[in-house]
Copies of this chain bind each other. A is one copy, B any other.
Amino acid sequence: MESLGRHILVEFYGCDVNLLNKASAVKEVLEDAARAARCTIVDSFVHQFSPFGVSGVVVIAESHLTIHTWPEYGYAAVDLFTCGEEADPWKCFQYMQEKLKSRNSTTMEVRRGTLNVDLLRHKPQPVKVAA
Protein backbone atom coordinates (compact mmCIF):
# COMPACT_ATOMS: atom_id res chain seq x y z
CA MET A 1 0.00 0.00 0.00
CA GLU A 2 1.45 3.30 -1.05
CA SER A 3 1.60 6.15 1.44
CA LEU A 4 2.74 9.74 1.46
CA GLY A 5 4.73 9.42 4.67
CA ARG A 6 6.07 7.30 7.49
CA HIS A 7 5.62 8.31 11.11
CA ILE A 8 7.39 6.63 14.01
CA LEU A 9 6.02 7.30 17.49
CA VAL A 10 8.78 6.65 20.02
CA GLU A 11 8.72 6.42 23.79
CA PHE A 12 12.31 6.74 25.03
CA TYR A 13 12.70 5.54 28.61
CA GLY A 14 15.71 5.58 30.88
CA CYS A 15 17.34 8.55 29.16
CA ASP A 16 20.08 10.89 30.30
CA VAL A 17 18.11 12.99 32.78
CA ASN A 18 20.21 16.12 32.61
CA LEU A 19 20.34 16.17 28.83
CA LEU A 20 16.52 15.93 28.76
CA ASN A 21 16.31 19.12 30.79
CA LYS A 22 18.71 21.18 28.70
CA ALA A 23 16.95 22.93 25.83
CA SER A 24 20.08 23.65 23.79
CA ALA A 25 21.23 20.03 24.00
CA VAL A 26 17.79 18.69 23.09
CA LYS A 27 17.62 21.03 20.10
CA GLU A 28 21.03 19.89 18.91
CA VAL A 29 20.07 16.21 19.16
CA LEU A 30 16.86 16.81 17.21
CA GLU A 31 18.57 18.82 14.48
CA ASP A 32 21.39 16.31 14.17
CA ALA A 33 18.83 13.49 13.98
CA ALA A 34 17.30 15.28 10.98
CA ARG A 35 20.75 15.54 9.40
CA ALA A 36 21.47 11.86 10.11
CA ALA A 37 18.53 11.02 7.83
CA ARG A 38 19.62 13.67 5.30
CA CYS A 39 16.47 15.67 5.87
CA THR A 40 16.28 19.34 4.98
CA ILE A 41 15.73 21.55 8.03
CA VAL A 42 13.22 24.33 7.39
CA ASP A 43 13.06 25.70 10.92
CA SER A 44 13.55 24.56 14.50
CA PHE A 45 12.21 25.63 17.83
CA VAL A 46 12.80 24.66 21.44
CA HIS A 47 11.10 25.66 24.68
CA GLN A 48 12.34 25.17 28.24
CA PHE A 49 9.62 24.59 30.78
CA SER A 50 9.97 25.56 34.43
CA PRO A 51 11.09 23.77 36.49
CA PHE A 52 11.53 20.71 34.25
CA GLY A 53 10.97 19.65 30.69
CA VAL A 54 11.73 20.67 27.15
CA SER A 55 9.65 20.74 23.98
CA GLY A 56 11.41 20.78 20.65
CA VAL A 57 10.26 20.84 17.04
CA VAL A 58 12.25 20.63 13.85
CA VAL A 59 10.19 21.30 10.75
CA ILE A 60 11.81 19.53 7.83
CA ALA A 61 10.95 19.68 4.15
CA GLU A 62 9.94 16.03 4.63
CA SER A 63 7.50 16.82 7.56
CA HIS A 64 8.65 17.07 11.20
CA LEU A 65 10.55 15.75 14.19
CA THR A 66 9.29 16.59 17.69
CA ILE A 67 10.30 15.83 21.25
CA HIS A 68 8.71 16.43 24.65
CA THR A 69 10.76 15.50 27.69
CA TRP A 70 9.92 14.59 31.29
CA PRO A 71 13.39 14.63 32.86
CA GLU A 72 11.95 13.57 36.22
CA TYR A 73 10.95 10.27 34.60
CA GLY A 74 13.92 9.96 32.27
CA TYR A 75 11.27 9.88 29.55
CA ALA A 76 10.87 11.54 26.16
CA ALA A 77 7.97 11.32 23.70
CA VAL A 78 9.40 11.59 20.19
CA ASP A 79 7.73 11.77 16.79
CA LEU A 80 9.65 11.16 13.60
CA PHE A 81 7.50 11.91 10.57
CA THR A 82 9.09 11.86 7.14
CA CYS A 83 7.60 11.97 3.66
CA GLY A 84 9.04 10.85 0.38
CA GLU A 85 11.26 7.96 -0.58
CA GLU A 86 14.59 9.43 0.41
CA ALA A 87 14.32 10.03 4.14
CA ASP A 88 14.45 7.09 6.55
CA PRO A 89 12.98 7.99 9.96
CA TRP A 90 14.66 4.96 11.53
CA LYS A 91 17.99 6.72 11.03
CA CYS A 92 16.64 9.54 13.22
CA PHE A 93 15.54 6.94 15.77
CA GLN A 94 18.94 5.25 15.92
CA TYR A 95 20.74 8.56 16.28
CA MET A 96 18.47 9.79 19.07
CA GLN A 97 18.47 6.51 20.97
CA GLU A 98 22.23 6.72 21.20
CA LYS A 99 22.46 10.42 22.02
CA LEU A 100 19.71 10.37 24.66
CA LYS A 101 21.31 7.22 26.14
CA SER A 102 17.88 5.59 26.27
CA ARG A 103 18.01 2.26 28.08
CA ASN A 104 14.74 1.06 26.60
CA SER A 105 12.14 2.27 24.20
CA THR A 106 8.96 1.36 22.40
CA THR A 107 8.17 2.32 18.82
CA MET A 108 5.18 2.27 16.53
CA GLU A 109 5.40 3.01 12.82
CA VAL A 110 2.33 4.42 11.13
CA ARG A 111 1.85 4.99 7.42
CA ARG A 112 0.37 8.43 6.81
CA GLY A 113 -1.73 9.41 3.81
CA THR A 114 -2.24 5.95 2.45
CA LEU A 115 -3.26 6.13 -1.17
CA ASN A 116 -6.39 4.09 -0.67
CA VAL A 117 -9.88 4.61 -1.85
CA ASP A 118 -10.20 7.83 0.12
CA LEU A 119 -7.42 9.53 -1.77
CA LEU A 120 -8.24 7.94 -5.10
CA ARG A 121 -11.79 9.19 -4.75
CA HIS A 122 -10.29 12.67 -4.72
CA LYS A 123 -7.86 12.51 -7.61
CA PRO A 124 -5.27 15.29 -7.90
CA GLN A 125 -7.11 18.51 -8.46
CA PRO A 126 -6.01 21.77 -9.97
CA VAL A 127 -4.65 23.97 -7.19
CA LYS A 128 -3.83 27.61 -7.49
CA VAL A 129 -0.08 28.01 -7.10
CA ALA A 130 0.78 29.93 -3.94
CA ALA A 131 1.99 33.47 -4.46
Distance from A66 Cβ to chain B, minimum over Cβ atoms (Å): 6
Give the residues in chain B near A66, CB-CB below 8 Å: 57, 64, 66, 81
Q: Which of A78-116 contact B (CB under 8 A)?
A: 79, 81, 83, 104, 106, 108, 110, 112-114
How far, in angstroms, from A23 to B125 measured CA to CA in the complex? Answer: 18
Give the residues in chain B near A68, CB-CB below 8 Å: 5, 63-64, 81, 83
Contact present for A70 and B4 (CB under 8 Å): yes
Tell me the number of copies of this protein: 2
Q: Which residue of B lies closest to A72 (CB)?
A: B124
How far, in angstroms, from A94 to B61 measured CA to CA in the complex? Answer: 27
Distance from A43 Cβ to chain B, minimum over Cβ atoms (Å): 6
Give the residues in chain B near A104, CB-CB below 8 Å: 118
Given contacts A23-B130, A127-B17, contact A75 B43 (CB under 8 A): no
How far, in angstroms, from A122 to B17 measured CA to CA in the complex? Answer: 10
List residues of A whose CB falls within 8 A of some B CB: 4-5, 7, 9, 11, 13-14, 17-18, 21-23, 42-43, 45, 47-52, 55, 57, 59, 61, 63-64, 66, 68, 70-75, 77, 79, 81, 83, 104, 106, 108, 110, 112-114, 118-119, 121-122, 124-125, 127-130
